[in-house]
Amino acid sequence: MSVSYMTQEGYDKLRNDLEDLKSRGRQEVARAIAEAKEKGDLSENAEYDAAKDAQGMLELKINEMEKAMASARIISENELDASKVTILSSVTIRNIKTGKDMTYKLVSESEADLKTKRISVNSPIGQGLLGKVKGDIAKISTPAGELDFEIVSISLD
């Protein structure tokens, strides 16, 4: 089983989401199954089939979240080196072609959120940036082709 690095905040959110699915999520699915059963013949009951499918999907999600928690290793920023790009680094990169600067924070896959500029270390950009130091050029393969980014700054904020 591979280790998944997370912040304490990300781990707490995952734990809370898991508890919510186990309690409220399971109750809602059980209620939907019970309502569908009341409607008669189960062999031709589309609502019952849909509710059972929803139950299966819920249990799969719960299982995946439990695996993520079991393999999680909580890290804090004071354990990391700000001289190179690692998980939890905030890194400013400059697109060599356009000259545009962008700043992203590298986080675990479960904490990634592009709206808040938090990208997964497993994403193509995250993989291309890991281990780089200020001044390095990262060559990132994207569907639009290979892009070159200069590492402008690295911080652990």
End-to-end CA distance of the chain: 30
What domains can be seen in the chain, in order of their start residue? 4-74 (1.10.287.180), 77-155 (3.10.50.30)
Contact 102, 2 (CB under 8 A): no
Q: What are the tokens at 74?
A: 């909580």
Dihedral sign (CA 21, 23, 24, 27): positive
- pTM score of the predicted model: 0.66
Walk along the chain (157 residues) and give the pLDDT tens digit of each residue. Answer: 567 778 888 889 899 999 999 999 999 999 988 888 887 776 777 888 888 899 999 999 999 989 888 888 888 767 777 789 988 889 999 999 999 999 999 988 878 888 999 999 888 899 999 999 999 999 998 787 899 999 999 988 7
**Number of H helices and number of E strands within the chain?**
4, 7
